[in-house]
Structure 1
Amino acid sequence: MADSPLPFHEDPAPGSGRRPARAEFVSDAPRLSLNGRWRFRLSGTADGTGPSLPGPDLDDSGWDTIRVPAHWVLEGHDRPIYTNTAYPFPIDPPYLPDENPTGDYRLRFDLPPGWPAGRSVLRFQGVDSCGTVWLNGELLGHSKGSRLPFEFDVTGLVRPRDNQLAVRVQRWSSGSYLEDQDMWWLPGIFRDVELLSRPEGGIDDFTVRASYRDGAGTLLVTADAPGHVEVPELGVAAATGERVTIPRVEPWSAENPRLYRGTLTAAGETIELAIGFRTVEIVGGRLLVNGAPVLFRGVNRHEHDPDRGRSLDRATMIRDIELMKRHNVNAVRTAHYPPHPEFLRLCDEYGLWVVDECDIETHGFIYAGWDGNPPAEPMWREALLDRARRMVERDKNHPSVVVWSLGNESGAGSAFGDIEDYIRHRDPTRPLHYERDPSYRHSDLHSLMYPSLDDLERIGRRAEEPPEGIEPDSPDDVRRRGLPFLLCEYAHAMGNGPGSLADYQAILESYERFCGAFVWEWIDHGLAGRDALGRRYYRHGGDIDHQPNGERFCLDGLLFPDRTPSPGLAELRKAIEPVRIAVEGGEVVVLNKYDFLSLAHLGFRWCVERDGVRIASGVLTVPDCPARSATRLPLPQAATDASGGGSDGETWLTVEAVLAEVTGWAPAGHVIACGQTRLDQPAPPPPTPVIEPGATPAIGPEGGGEELRLGPAVFDGRTGRLIRIGELELDGPVFDVWRAPTENDRGQGPRNALAADWEAVGLDRFLHRCTAVERPDDGTIVVRGRSGPATRTLGFRTTFTYRLRGGGLHLLIEADPVGDWHDTAYGHLDVNPPRMGARFALPGGYSEVTWFGRGPGESYADSRAAARVGRHARSIDALQTPYVVPQENGNHVETRWLELSGAGLPTLRVDGEPLLDFTARRWTSEALQAARRPHDLTDSGRVWLNLDHGQQGIGSASCGPALPERYRLAVRRYTWSLTLTLH
């Protein structure tokens, strides 16, 4: 007996009954939005509510109503699920479990008065995962490919009044096997639904080819019906199919998104055209646009909103683009599917390079050893090719789209050859990208994810090792070395980080082979939730009662879920700024790193500060400087005068490049780039502290007594702890090697599991023993101790030496490692301390901090470029960064001095000698580590102040290479010193 045909949702076919894929466009033909409130009922299986769904007599008055577009799991029905690589259902293609939540939708609508007779088209911009559609009881067909549009011809079915539209949406379908894209699984009709009037004899599909060469443009508009093209600004009036050469046009680029507005008319319809002249090509192993090399300073962008999921409105898209432009981002990879078409229209207008990625990822087959991977299986060919066709046909007319990406993390297979053949035949004007096939036969770009800095350097020199399975010097190996390189994912922005952004950018700008890089990723995918007290928080995969789940791995963006920029975005902005400003040989050197723009659109301003106080400022006149070139000009006279020496303190020159005029994405005066240079010579290190001449410190009884005194300082005679300075009660310092692990400390894979190694050897549980409190004859108090974890020999011997100096209490800290730091008894773990510091407990009344050093944002050893040297002031509460998952935050490197103040308390000043790191917060590192959400952190009643030699860097090991050794703290002897003074 023959097998029964598969139901729509399990059939590998991409759909049925649909119209051919075509360009998406805006015209003056009537259009009826069907967005709004629909009737909705959720069922537990793919049968939904049963066969009666499309019937006009079905009584749905008792059904719920739901917003369209939206995801039903964010509208009070069922639950969202997050996985990173794993399928949330058995790998049994093309079949799905019987438990398959299915939403049935119904909408009654009337046509507006005057709706034209003739053709009508019903369009869905996005349905996740499989949508089957009926109109007035007639089956139209079904479609898969969640992030792509599909249309049905409803001519003769739609009527003036009382239309009944019914849609059945299965959460899981055969299409789900192609959509395993490190994201929340969010079912429903989540993009717009529209009814379109199409004039008889009109144009349904057209292609705009607008190329540029040596100042001239060539325009060719072809269509599936005769039409007329007009571009008034260029004096163009031509028939479709007629190639027109324009002697002089301005090219389109992300830096200067010059669009020429025109129209395409046919059969009484006028279609809007936004034409950008540009040519993309690969010449000599370099990616060129309009004949010039380009460097993508990019981000990977999932569509996300904490309340609406992937159902974004236009205002949110504009907000994203404005934030990107304001942070010097010039490119977007649409990870890992085509975005809403409005986003691409906005990229054309605002100016962003786009790598448009197909809605294909089969990453979960890694758990099957890639056995049955769809790109290698013939039964999936049409479904895969259909997704590429719908992407290309929809988006082909956008000048912002400069690269087609065939998909993401889907292994290799013959289907990619079919996709390549289709795209090259249909659109030979753009290069192709696909990263995961090691042969790169179907890609015009070599590409990798998350290489180390050393590996990236080798790639720049075209000296990289061949991928696994590729023979050295084979044709595939030779071809790959000749390709431009696109770093499609790097700098995993999960939690506090990423680090090394400036290091990566320096390499990317040093080799002609590189055409850019895309940080993973733009925004944290936290979904809004409320706790038992009604407090809003952001959920991650681990907050949902479902297995498997990817836990916190969806929180890996440069924006927090509410679109607040993270410190990582500030660091990226600095690392990729398109102008470099430095002082060399007594001159200001301005390097223009734009690919096309001169510096004419920028103004330059400067200021000189001494110890963070402005003493001079002005405007710097910078001659117009072409793209990828430099200019030199003399220092401002006031800056030269200020650097003459003879004054105490540090003198710093800051030069900013700012927008000279308002743009569509930022106001005039918006800072594009900044350079800082110290003008005076750094002072020599202070001499070894000595007791102030004539001072006779009052010292209490030796160790074992109640108290020891050194001037205004009072110590616990048993522990050596400092317990009071004058009227200020405090406690400390306690030797501190611990920080609340960041997501990058927790890493991915055994070689990156720093936090696990730290915890394995007990760095999170140091115990302290005071071995001696000494009172030498030199006017000091010396506290000796040993700190280390239970069950281990490793630790540090510490010496804290106090003396009076300059009206303050000077402290010299010495720390020497002891014991087995290589853990030879327990698997040869080589660990490094994440922090080398001293922690003080201060009264909780302290509320404000002023400091001179890097700021105002947090900074770390490998993430400090965005933090300027200056005088900064913040409340202690504002120093905290509210990462969705609490972790180490708020550190400040290269601090010269800081002052803490609060009502009714003396001002406590700390001077580094010369520098220290500091953090100040109302909870301990241990409380920070234990918290699951920011609102778990409560005021302890004290301020915990860390005054540190330093912390290790941040890195991006949550999904990336291990932290470079130069950003780790070696197991060695450390010394640092500081002075505490009350005012």
Structure 2
Amino acid sequence: MTDHVESYAPGEGRLPPRADFRSDAPRLSLNGDWAFRLTPTAAGTGPDVADPDLDDSGWDRLRVPSHWVLEGYDRPLYTNTAYPFPIDPPHVPAQNPTGDYRRRFDWPFGERAVLRFQGVDSCARVWLNGTELGHSKGSRLPFEFDVTGLLRPAGNVLAVRVHRWSSGSYLEDQDMWWLPGIFRDVELLARPSSAIDDFFVHASYLDGRGTLRVDADRPGIVELPELGVRMPTGETVTVPVEPWSAERPRLYRGTLTAGGERIALAVGFRTVSIVDGRLLVNGVPVLFRGVNRHEHDPERGRALDLATMRRDVVLMKQHNINAVRTSHYPPHPDFLRLCDEYGLWVVDECDIETHGFIYAGWAGNPPAEPAWRDALADRIERMVERDKNHPSVVVWSMGNESWSGATFGELESWIRKRDPSRPIHYERDRSYRHSDFASLMYPSLDELDAIGRGEEPTPEGVEAGSPDDVRRRGLPFLLCEYAHAMGNGPGSLLDYQRILEAHERFCGAFVWEWIDHGLRAPDGGLLHGGDVDYTPNGGRYCLDGLLFADRTPSPGLLEYAKAIEPVVITIADGRVWLRNRYDMADLSHLRLEWTVGHEVGTLTVPHVPARTSASLPLPELPDGDWLTVRAVLAADTAWAPAGHVVAWGQAELAPPRPVDWPRGGFSGVRFDPETGQLVRLGDLEIGGPVLDVWRAPVENDRGQGFRNDLTRAWRAVGLDRVLHRVDEVRTGDDRVVVRGRSGPAGQALGLRTEMCWEPAGDGAVALTVTVTPEGIWTDTPIGGHDVTLPRLGLRLALPAGLTRATWFGRGPGESYVDSRAAARVGRFTAEIDALQTPYPWPQENGNHVETRWLELTGDGQPGLRVEGDPWFDFTARRWTSEDLDRATKPSQLRPSERVWLNVDHGQQGLGSASCGPPLPQRYRLPIRPYTFRVRLAGWG
């Protein structure tokens, strides 16, 4: 029978949902190798799968937890918004891969027991010793069966039939890989007689005192030894406590005892409220500096182990992140325990998304259809009941991108009755009548600023001045997704943060998203959705994280850490100014260090309460150009050692010296008399320079569909196929002037250029470049945008023997005009190959803005020095921008016989238009006349 697969019912035979907890009662993990067989339809291997005497010795072996599509069976599928099956609810295709699992085990721990599954995708039917227990849907949520009376001391057989598709799949369209299987823990729990099965910890905080009550389904004793608390369940006590917060995650550990079982408690006292349109925790406004987090690992998919979850939390803390939205489902319960322990605010989101109904015009959308009411309510109840005792969970989110429907009102009512201590979030219903927050995704900077002022337009479908509209404008605003971190980017993080901190209405924001969803390919590379031959397909849209898939921080994560650093350090007028961005903590846990050149010292940290500022005088400093002041951890923490840099600021100690390059003859300099290009500089052979306006598009240049697609505009006018012409080479005693034109094939528009070379000291030349556009550039909007330049500068071909770059400017990592906060000014050295950021989809990378000078060297190789007037951008790599543009995998990039150096007047910013607003105009290169100047010197 397969009727359960397509029924609206969320399950049958299961126990009511309850809190997840750990106790000293016996527990048997059923993780490990299971017998496994995959079949193409919901019938599975047939009715004998539950038979304890079935000979499964010839079956395959599959580890649990895992996804079978990542273990060599069938294939993973990725979609962003579309369902990978017809929209015909509650039906699914007959081609429904089904995995039959069998596990043999002994159970010597007594009769009363519960069988728990922490997560199965997407529908599981379960038998124990030949008896059917029931079935369940709701992939990212636990379900349990009472197996009392069915267990034997030895020789038990557990059988599970897992269907890839079920009616529940219609509620799980969450911009992620579709990965079936038993992917979270399976365990048997002994339940002693008279033991507590469920309890609810109520631990509030007010004015230095915590109020505690623990409600339970059976009488028990609550003990918190550190507080001297010993009391029965159901009673209330108020005692002096330290509050729990993400900044100081104070937990009081104890036990809840009943029926001979001791349940571990980790109590955090905190109160969440909304007062006068502001989100408060413990009476204090908070600002989420957060990320959206899918569960992902390139080898294991969503089957994460504890070490990987801990690594995520530690990386978040080390990069100043204080909040997580569990997009778009509740995480493994161990992740929430880590958030309690390390300190992260959590918006806990339910396993509900019906985004694919957008392709049906939202007809039949489950939240608007009564037939789905029980399935939706079941998921909400399982989330709230499981996670209700975690102090880190401060907001319930009812789901994501599921439009609207009457059922959301019922879900809201149930949550408020069960847990009035936490506010509720739901973004997609623009009336927000079921949400305690106004919310939005991917607004522009101007739109966000208007929201902060309360001047945003009334949403479509809401009548201006109506009760919904008036209420909405009085709600705190939660930016649940912004700054799409796909490829090289996102840009404007500092701009967004300034706006978020400028208006009291904002309670924070969550970058999309934490980690790239790349899967390990057989050749060791990474797969994205487009590498799977299946339609519909979300392509590489799954590569949109601040971490690369192997959990290496991207430049975007470093930029975000700087944009949200909890202390802003400004140096001016002989003083160091400290602005404390913590919501609750002062700066006593930090130490201040200064650096000038190679000299270091310390500063005394003044008392700076949360959300205030203070200053201290600078000491007498050694001679130098730049001062850097760092705020570092004064002592070890659970997430970083003492000395870990939390924040930093810089100041130039002396005004920049005017450029005064020496003059002289063209000694050791050779030009090609036909092209006017530089051929030799001292002993260094050079090819070029030529005017360069092209970059391999970053993901954000491509926009989303036809929306904000700058790449389409660039290619339409031919910026990827510019050809060069020399009209005149005029040589004199003190200069060489080269005039020409650069223009795209097939177009009348172009750029007139004049390159004026002058001697600038022994073996050096100064180059002044004048660029004048001609044609109909600014009158040719493509896709709604005037054409602008990807970059403007010079490209030089240099010998492959150059291996190292040393520069003074911003570094050490890459930087762009709208993503440079994390790059400090200093002197840096790196191998040329190390200047490349290995984005999984090759694209422009490795740029460095505000470079004062650059030297390229190699062992036994003549070197090159470039100086700016006052500065320039540079990239150096062993392949061209065209090579980057053509490649679809990093493995396709092959070093050429040249080092290609771009010395740019400027390059366009990054933005986040792959899912967001267009790049702000101030970060573009408009079509207009330009003049810039650099000095080139060779030696060796």
Name the counterpart of 1:647. none
1:903 shift after superposition: 1.4
Name the counterpart of 2:654. 680
Q: Which of 619, 633, 643 is 1:659 aligned to? A: 633
Name the counterpart of 1:627. 610
Name the counterpart of 2:716. 760
Q: Which of 240, 245, 269 is 1:253 aligned to? A: 245
Instruction: Verify: 1:188 aligned to 2:181, yes or no.
Output: yes
**1:637 counterpart SS class:** coil
Q: Is the 8 A contact 2:339 2:392 kept in 1?
A: yes
Q: Which residue identity lines up with residue 446 of structure 2 in the other structure?
A: D
**1:764 counterpart SS class:** coil
Name the counterpart of 1:359. 351
Name the counterpart of 1:128. 121
Instruction: Verify: 1:547 aligned to 2:535, yes or no.
Output: yes
Listed one character per residue, the Cα deviations across residues 861-917 of structure 1 (whole Å, up to 9, x for unaligned) are: 000000000000000010000001110000000000010000111221111111000
Q: Which residue identity lines up with residue 436 of structure 2 in the other structure?
A: D
Listed one character per residue, the Cα deviations across residues 302-355 of structure 1 (whole Å, up to 9, x for unaligned) are: 000000000000000010000000000000000000000000001000000000
Instruction: Verify: 1:291 aligned to 2:283, yes or no.
Output: yes
Q: Is the 8 A contact 1:822 1:828 kept in 2?
A: no
Change (3 A) 1:860 1:376: same
Q: Which moved more, 1:565-574 or 1:469-478?
A: 469-478
Listed one character per residue, the Cα deviations across residues 818-850 of structure 1 (whole Å, up to 9, x for unaligned) are: 111146598886210110010000000000000
Q: Which of 84, 87, 95 is 1:88 aligned to? A: 84
Instruction: Verify: 1:888 aligned to 2:844, yes or no.
Output: yes
Q: Which residue identity lines up with residue 593 of structure 2 in the other structure?
A: R
Q: Which residue identity lines up with residue 283 of structure 1 in the other structure?
A: V
Instruction: Verify: 1:921 aligned to 2:915, yes or no.
Output: no
Query: Any unmatched runs of 5+ in structure 1?
Result: 643-649, 698-709
Name the counterpart of 1:701. none
What percentage of aligned pairs have identical amino acids? 69
Listed one character per residue, the Cα deviations across residues 529-562 of structure 1 (whole Å, up to 9, x for unaligned) are: 023xxxx111000001111110000000000000
Name the counterpart of 1:602. 590
Q: Is the 8 A contact 2:2 2:42 kept in 1?
A: no
Q: Which residue identity lines up with residue 265 of structure 1 in the other structure?
A: T
Q: Which of 560, 569, 572 is 2:557 aligned to? A: 569
Name the counterpart of 2:110. 116
Structure 1: how far apart are the matches of 2:859 and 2:703?
42
Q: Which residue identity lines up with residue 848 of structure 1 in the other structure?
A: R
Q: Is the 8 A contact 2:2 2:43 kept in 1?
A: no
Structure 2: how far apart are the matches of 1:266 and 1:285?
42
**2:507 counterpart SS class:** strand
Name the counterpart of 1:240. 233
Q: Is the 8 A contact 1:360 1:384 kept in 2?
A: yes
Q: Normalised by the size of structure 2, how large is the TM-score? A: 0.99
Structure 1: how far apart are the matches of 2:585 and 2:749?
57
Q: Which residue identity lines up with residue 202 of structure 1 in the other structure?
A: A
Where do 1:723-762 residues align within 5 Å?
723-762=679-718
1:116 shift after superposition: 2.3
Q: Is the 8 A contact 1:107 1:166 kept in 2?
A: yes
Q: Size of the alignment, in residue pairs?
A: 938
**2:720 counterpart SS class:** helix
Q: Is the 8 A contact 1:823 1:829 kept in 2?
A: no
Where do 1:586-597 residues align within 5 Å?
586-597=574-585
Name the counterpart of 1:817. 773
Q: Which residue identity lines up with residue 788 of structure 1 in the other structure?
A: G
Structure 2: how far apart are the matches of 1:260 and 1:934?
49
Q: Which moved more, 1:433-442 or 1:6-15?
A: 6-15
Structure 2: how far apart are the matches of 1:195 and 1:827?
59
Name the counterpart of 2:749. 794
Structure 1: how far apart are the matches of 2:388 and 2:462?
34
Structure 1: how far apart are the matches of 2:682 and 2:607?
60
1:426 shift after superposition: 0.2
1:588 shift after superposition: 1.1
Q: Which residue identity lines up with residue 62 of structure 1 in the other structure?
A: G
Instruction: Verify: 1:349 aligned to 2:304, yes or no.
Output: no
1:630 shift after superposition: 0.9
Listed one character per residue, the Cα deviations across residues 102-133 of structure 1 (whole Å, up to 9, x for unaligned) are: 00101111114xx123x111000000000000
Name the counterpart of 1:863. 819
**1:763 counterpart SS class:** coil
Instruction: Verify: 1:516 aligned to 2:508, yes or no.
Output: yes
Name the counterpart of 2:731. 775
Structure 1: how far apart are the matches of 2:856 and 2:832?
9
Name the counterpart of 1:785. 740
Q: Is the 8 A contact 1:625 1:631 kept in 2?
A: yes
Structure 1: how far apart are the matches of 2:460 and 2:784?
29
Name the counterpart of 1:700. none
Where do 1:374-413 residues align within 5 Å?
374-413=366-405
Structure 2: how far apart are the matches of 1:824 and 1:560?
38
Instruction: Verify: 1:48 aligned to 2:22, yes or no.
Output: no
1:726 shift after superposition: 2.2
Q: Which residue identity lines up with residue 416 of structure 1 in the other structure?
A: F
**1:632 counterpart SS class:** strand
Structure 1: how far apart are the matches of 2:814 and 2:637?
29
Name the counterpart of 2:486. 494
Q: Is the 8 A contact 2:277 2:476 kept in 1?
A: yes
Structure 2: how far apart are the matches of 1:747 and 1:456?
20
Q: Is the 8 A contact 1:491 1:519 kept in 2?
A: yes
1:711 shift after superposition: 2.6
Structure 1: how far apart are the matches of 2:258 and 2:845?
60
Structure 1: how far apart are the matches of 2:495 and 2:858?
39
Name the counterpart of 1:170. 163
Name the counterpart of 1:906. 862
1:683 shift after superposition: 3.0
Instruction: Verify: 1:106 aligned to 2:102, yes or no.
Output: yes
Q: Is the 8 A contact 2:708 2:783 kept in 1?
A: no
Where do 1:307-346 residues align within 5 Å?
307-346=299-338
Q: Which of 11, 23, 34 is 1:15 aligned to? A: 11
Q: Which residue identity lines up with residue 207 of structure 1 in the other structure?
A: F
1:495 shift after superposition: 0.3
Q: Is the 8 A contact 2:791 2:907 kept in 1?
A: yes
Name the counterpart of 2:470. 478
1:722 shift after superposition: 1.0
Structure 1: how far apart are the matches of 2:259 and 2:783?
78
Listed one character per residue, the Cα deviations across residues 590-643 of structure 1 (whole Å, up to 9, x for unaligned) are: 11110111100000001123xxxx3x321011212111111111111226xx4x
**1:758 counterpart SS class:** helix
Name the counterpart of 2:220. 227
Q: Is the 8 A contact 2:693 2:790 kept in 1?
A: yes
Name the counterpart of 2:621. 638
Q: Is the 8 A contact 1:256 1:597 kept in 2?
A: yes
Q: Which of 678, 703, 707 is 1:722 aligned to? A: 678
1:466 shift after superposition: 1.1
Instruction: Verify: 1:850 aligned to 2:806, yes or no.
Output: yes
Listed one character per residue, the Cα deviations across residues 455-501 of structure 1 (whole Å, up to 9, x for unaligned) are: 00011111111111111111111101100001000000000000000
Name the counterpart of 1:702. none
Q: Which of 796, 807, 813 is 1:840 aligned to? A: 796
Name the counterpart of 2:60. 64
Structure 2: how far apart are the matches of 1:241 and 1:476?
38
Q: Is the 8 A contact 2:781 2:787 kept in 1?
A: no
Q: Which residue identity lines up with residue 403 of structure 1 in the other structure?
A: V
Q: Normalised by the size of structure 1, how large is the TM-score? A: 0.94
Q: Which residue identity lines up with residue 638 of structure 1 in the other structure?
A: L
Structure 2: how far apart are the matches of 1:902 and 1:824?
45
